[in-house]
Amino acid sequence: MRTMSPTKILRVGDHAPLFTLLDHQERKIKLADQLKKNIVILFFYPGDMTPGCTMQLCAVRDDWTKFKRRQTAVFGINHGDAASHGVFAKKYAFPFPLLIDKNKKISKKYGAIKRIFNAEVIKRSVVVIDKNGKIIYLQRGMPKNSDIL
């Protein structure tokens, strides 16, 4: 398994750090398995049921046919638990899993963390990974889906 130094800043062209996380239905999701068949898009977002995160993930849901046409595997990631993610996913009918990064370990590996006072919070980030495990798009903030696709 590839490991990344916690101080390394990921860039387009770098290998994506591999991970295994549970989704909101407590299914084990391995990035390596997803790469065998798809382009993978990771949406790191700060919190379930917050206005900006809801808007961003609902936009993905609304463009779902475009994502499927490109044969992408899409995942939302934050530190929320299965119950929180499950309520969020059900309320907004997300057709993609929400992954549980309980200790923000994966968010840190992807550079999707910022400090606010003494707290570490997830920084909104979008990462697209090709079938070879290389990052082909990385954007902090909330890019338009048309920029990603």
Catalytically annotated residues: 53
Strand boundaries in 56-97, DSSP class E: 72-78
From residue 59, give the alpha-carbon distance in Å to each of 3, 8, 18, 71, 112.
32, 31, 26, 17, 20
* First-to-last C-alpha distance (Å) of the chain: 28
Task: State the sign of the Cα–Cα–Cα–Cα dihedral 19, 20, 22, 24.
Answer: positive
- Tokens 């808007």 map to which residue? 55
As a whole number of angstroms, the distance between CA 126 and CA 123 comes to 10
- The residue among 113, 34, 15, 114 whose CA lies nearest residue 74 is 34
